[in-house]
């Protein structure tokens, strides 16, 4: 960067402070608006933090099979994520079975159940109906008064006589798009549909007949015709286009009808209600308080440790926080507990980038260079580690966002935003501030510090101890899971989000707030279930409270009813218990696993490409797996509830572990230029020296990240603490594995497979 003059430095400092004040004002306004009752500026919160709309559908006709239920759930989930995301800006909707023939949809951040019902539509069946039957009699015709098309027979008759060409289940996809008009050359909105093999055959026969007779094929959904397009030619490929739309919105609406009408079973609305947050009303308040205190401690720590540059880092971190809140608010991103995890990880990466830069500047100062030269070289040398660490995490976020769903996608969105912001603030804002400080007179080396000469720590010689200790901890977890399974319990303490459970709706004689319910009623429920994993939801505008617990036996349900009557005067007829399925479906679990595996593979390829040595990539991935297994051991031994927070925790540990390891590997790569003969002793010395050189930065970053999580553990509500504890262990383990596992593995691979780089 070109050296600043004093006036430029002053101008930049004033400009950045003004930006910070503006962002601070907006942040305070948004955060205060989030807790206010009005419709002012506020963050969009997920169902776990703010509640939303709960809609329950019931299957029409015979009880559907389990396969039909699961397929329908998957399609509804896809409908919400793909079709409603632009309006609800959410990837965190929950869709799960209730009993044998009901499905509940919970959509966060929505307070108008009727509006959401209208937007989502009734998941029924869609029919493509020929204009005339085999005898030439009309199947539908326009009403003489309204002009709207009406059936001349009922649906069952039309199906029986073969007039229903195809049904929604035979449509594999439908989407709104633009197509060029061959006559005018203008682009017009159309609906493009794709059919399966059975639908292709039936549609080919029907369109051949309709085209020759100049007839239409009506699209009938939810008791009315939504489109009656004329067939211009036979369609035999299974790909059709419906034109004649007045605008793109009409095409999008028709495509949406066709998709939602392709469900395996027909559903009707049973009930809809606005429910409260599942984590409790204090969860967000305590999380924000913990984050604020944690950020303050981190800023003070950076100033104490790094002096002048620490002030720049503190200001940059404050700007980062303001920008994050601004983006969440401006783009209406739904914030959930997994999203908070993504933000915590990105804050750690923002601090880490600054720590790398400042450590480099101190090293250059210690070598005798001028402060100006040290700043230039420090930023230059830090660039590769910062870019590689952030790009690796960004690749993971992108893959998780593309292939994941629900919790995974929500985590990926906030993580990607955070990573981009952390790079911007570290490489742009911090850089501007440090050059501005230098320009206004902070030129003495005492403001920047010098790296102290440290005795090289022989980590490599202790590799056997590290490996055995890690294997012992992982073995304890595996043994614990085996023992739990042998006792008839699940290997892990899966929550109702994974296993399903019982939803008990209680009609009290007065209205309770969520906080009052958690304090006064939940302890009685927990005493019956013997489990603190209870989700409480207050139904807005009523005295009803829903308690979601593990599956209850008949005796436990009776005991719960008796407890409610004894302690709260609730009669048995005012208590309803229903079995509910898991909100994290098999498909979502499979998608999450596939997304993580693809992300890890992509990170492996990137590290291999950047470091031009498969041994670096392999060591980093093994260390990553090590961290995941250690956290898994904690879940197994401590029997911590495994729910959606578990997925977020594991993803955070993966991102943190790789980023931490890359910084050390970057230093090894740099120092390898001095290797002469690649002897085991020389490689060992290089590895030990590289870890020692980066040790202060590693510990500083670990401290600042751990502080953020520790504040959540200390100040958070119970559900937040169950999330923070394994996250704390995972991040601490990530630091340990970078120093004591990844580097040692690289050394072993380097010595045993010398010269083999591919």
Reply yes or no on whether the pLDDT at 530 is more than 80.
yes
Domain that holds residue 686: 460-478+585-752
Work out the end-to-end distance of the chain between its first and last CA atoms, rounded to an integer number of angstroms.
37
Mean pLDDT throughout 542-555? 88
Give the DSSP letter string of 616-684.
Answer: HHHHHHHHHHHHHHHHHHHHHHHT--BSHHHHHHHHHHHHHHHHHHHHHHHHHHHHGGG-SS--HHHHH
d(CA 421, CA 427): 10
Reply yes or no on whether the pLDDT at 578 is more than 80.
yes
Q: How far is CA 140 from CA 213, 288, 338, in A?
A: 16, 59, 51
Task: Tell whether 488 is covered by a domain.
Answer: no
Mean pLDDT throughout 425-437? 94
Same structural domain, 575 and 593: no
The least confident of 280-284, 456-460, 520-524, 618-622 is 280-284
Same structural domain, 521 and 433: no
Mean pLDDT throughout 227-240? 92
CA angle 206, 152, 170 (to 5 degrees): 35
The least confident of 129-133, 226-230, 386-390, 396-400 is 396-400
* Strand boundaries in 291-383, DSSP class E: 334-335
Same structural domain, 113 and 130: no
d(CA 478, CA 491): 9
Q: Which of 720, 674, 676, 729 is nearest to 702 (CA)?
A: 729
Choosing from 122, 153, 170, the residue where a domain stops is: 122
Residue pair 308/724 in contact by the 8 Å Cβ criterion: no
Size (the chain), residues: 758
Task: Tell whether 273 is covered by a domain.
Answer: no
Report the CATH number at residue 81: 3.30.70.3400
Task: Tell whether 621 is covered by a domain.
Answer: yes
Same structural domain, 636 and 720: yes
pLDDT score recorded for residue 375: 95
pLDDT 10s digits, 166-193: 988 788 888 888 888 777 778 889 999 9
Total domains in the chain come to: 5
Q: What DSSP character marks residue 552?
A: P
pTM, whole model, 2 decimals?
0.73
| Helix spans in 104-196 (H) | 113-120, 155-160
Mean pLDDT throughout 624-637? 93
Question: pLDDT class for 259, splitting at 50, 70, 90?
Answer: confident
500: left (phi over 0), alpha (psi -120 to 50) or beta: left
Choosing from 561, 580, 599, the residue where a domain stops is: 580
Task: Tell whether 267 is covered by a domain.
Answer: no
Same structural domain, 244 and 175: yes
Same structural domain, 93 and 239: no
Residue pair 549/525 in contact by the 8 Å Cβ criterion: yes
Report the CATH number at residue 152: 3.30.1360.200
Reply yes or no on whether the pLDDT at 641 is more than 90.
no
Reply yes or no on whether the pLDDT at 226 is more than 80.
yes
- Mention every residue, 6+ apart, whose C-beta is less than 8 A from residue 485: 491
Same structural domain, 296 and 220: no
| Helix spans in 238-281 (H) | 248-260
Question: Which run of H or E residues covers position 379?
Answer: helix 371-403
Same structural domain, 738 and 603: yes
Choosing from 580, 597, 625, the residue where a domain stops is: 580
pLDDT score recorded for residue 280: 53
Question: pLDDT class for 88, splitting at 50, 70, 90?
Answer: very low
Reply yes or no on whether the pLDDT at 709 is more than 70.
yes
Same structural domain, 295 and 393: yes
Same structural domain, 519 and 643: no
Question: pLDDT class for 122, splitting at 50, 70, 90?
Answer: low
pLDDT 10s digits, 675-692: 878 889 999 999 999 999
96 or 420: which leads in pLDDT: 420
Task: Tell whether 17 is covered by a domain.
Answer: yes
Task: Tell whether 491 is covered by a domain.
Answer: no
Same structural domain, 466 and 387: no
pLDDT 10s digits, 303-338: 999 999 999 999 999 999 999 999 988 887 877 777
Same structural domain, 593 and 736: yes
pLDDT score recorded for residue 92: 61
At 579, is the secondary structure helix, strand, or coil?
strand
Reply yes or no on whether the pLDDT at 239 is more than 70.
yes
Task: Tell whether 353 is covered by a domain.
Answer: yes
Burial class of 480 by CB neighbour count within 10 A (0 to 12, 13 to 18, 19+) = buried
CA angle 72, 76, 81 (to 5 degrees): 150
Report the CATH number at residue 14: 1.20.1640.10
Give the DSSP letter string of 457-497.
Answer: P--GGGHHHHHHHHHHHHHHHHHHHHHHHHTTS-SS-B-HH
Residue pair 43/30 in contact by the 8 Å Cβ criterion: yes
Task: Tell whether 483 is covered by a domain.
Answer: no
Q: Which of 485, 338, 476 is nearest to 412 (CA)?
A: 338
């Amino acid at each position: 960067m070109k050296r600043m003059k004093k006036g430029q430095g002053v101008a930049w400092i004033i400009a950045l402070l003004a930006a910070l004040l503006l962002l601070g004002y907006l942040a305070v306004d948004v955060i205060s608006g989030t807790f206010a009752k009005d419709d002012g500026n506020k963050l969009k919160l997920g169902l776990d933090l703010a509640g939303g709309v709960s809609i329950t559908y019931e299957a029409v006709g015979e009880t559907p099979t389990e396969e039909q239920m699961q397929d329908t759930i998957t399609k509804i989930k896809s409908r919400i994520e793909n079709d409603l995301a632009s309006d609800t800006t959410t990837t965190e909707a929950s869709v799960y079975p209730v009993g044998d023939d009901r499905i509940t949809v919970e959509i966060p951040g929505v307070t108008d159940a009727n509006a959401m019902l209208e937007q989502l539509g009734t998941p029924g069946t869609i029919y493509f109906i020929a204009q005339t039957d085999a005898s030439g009699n009309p199947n539908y015709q326009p009403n003489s008064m309204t002009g709207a098309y009406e059936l001349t027979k009922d649906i069952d008759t039309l199906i029986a006589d073969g007039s229903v060409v195809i049904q929604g289940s035979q449509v594999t996809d439908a989407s709104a798009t633009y197509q060029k008009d061959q006559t005018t050359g203008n682009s017009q909105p159309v609906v493009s549909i794709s059919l399966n093999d059975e639908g292709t055959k039936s549609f080919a026969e029907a369109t051949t007949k309709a085209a020759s007779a100049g007839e239409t094929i009506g699209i009938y959904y939810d008791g009315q015709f939504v489109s009656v397009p004329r067939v211009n030619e036979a369609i035999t490929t299974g790909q059709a286009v419906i034109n004649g739309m007045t605008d793109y919105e009409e095409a999008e609406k028709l495509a949406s009808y066709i998709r939602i009408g392709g469900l395996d079973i027909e559903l009707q609305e049973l009930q809809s209600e606005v429910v409260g947050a599942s984590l409790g009303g204090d969860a967000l308040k305590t999380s924000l308080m913990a984050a604020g205190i944690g950020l303050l401690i981190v800023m003070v720590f950076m100033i104490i440790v790094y002096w002048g540059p620490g002030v720049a880092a503190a200001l940059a971190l404050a700007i980062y926080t303001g920008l994050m809140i601004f983006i969440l608010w401006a783009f209406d991103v739904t914030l959930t507990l997994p999203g908070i995890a993504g933000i915590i990880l990105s804050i750690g990466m923002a601090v880490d980038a600054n720590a790398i830069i400042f450590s480099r500047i101190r090293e250059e100062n210690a070598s005798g260079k001028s402060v100006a030269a040290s700043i230039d070289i420090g930023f230059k040398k830090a660039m590769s580690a910062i870019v590689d660490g952030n790009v690796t995490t960004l690749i993971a976020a992108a893959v998780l966002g593309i292939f994941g769903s629900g919790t995974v996608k929500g985590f990926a969105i906030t993580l990607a935003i955070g990573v981009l912001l952390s790079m911007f603030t570290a490489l742009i804002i911090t850089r501007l501030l440090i050059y501005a400080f230098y320009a206004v007179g902070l030129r003495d080396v005492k403001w920047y510090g010098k790296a102290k000469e440290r005795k090289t720590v022989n980590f490599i010689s202790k590799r056997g101890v590290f490996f055995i200790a890690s294997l012992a901890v992982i073995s304890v977890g595996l043994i614990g899971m085996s023992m739990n399974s042998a006792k008839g319990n699940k290997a892990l303490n899966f929550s109702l989000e994974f296993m399903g459970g019982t939803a008990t709706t209680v009609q009290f004689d007065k209205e309770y707030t969520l906080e009052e319910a958690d304090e006064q009623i939940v302890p009685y429920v927990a005493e019956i279930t013997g489990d603190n994993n209870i989700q409480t939801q207050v139904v807005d505008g009523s005295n009803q409270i829903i308690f979601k617990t593990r599956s209850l036996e008949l005796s436990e349900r009776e005991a719960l009813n008796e407890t409610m009557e004894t302690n709260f005067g609730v009669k048995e007829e005012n208590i309803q218990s229903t079995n509910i399925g898991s909100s994290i479906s098999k498909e979502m679990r499979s998608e999450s696993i596939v997304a993580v595996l693809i992300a890890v593979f992509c990170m492996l390829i990137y590290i291999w490409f950047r470091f031009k040595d498969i041994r670096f990539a392999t060591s980093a991935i093994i260390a990553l797996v090590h961290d995941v297994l250690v956290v898994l051991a904690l879940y197994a031994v401590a029997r911590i509830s495994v729910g959606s927070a578990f997925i977020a925790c594991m993803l955070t540990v993966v991102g943190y572990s790789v980023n931490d390891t890359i910084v050390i590997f970057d230093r090894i790569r740099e120092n390898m230029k001095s290797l002469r003969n690649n002897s085991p002793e020389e490689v060992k010395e290089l590895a030990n020296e590289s870890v020692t050189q980066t040790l202060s930065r590693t510990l500083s970053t670990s401290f600042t990240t751990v502080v953020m999580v520790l504040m959540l553990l200390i100040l958070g509500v119970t559900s937040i603490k169950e999330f923070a504890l394994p996250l704390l262990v995972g991040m601490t383990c990530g630091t340990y594995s970078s120093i004591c596992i990844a580097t040692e593995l690289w050394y072993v691979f380097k010595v045993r497979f010398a010269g083999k780089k591919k």
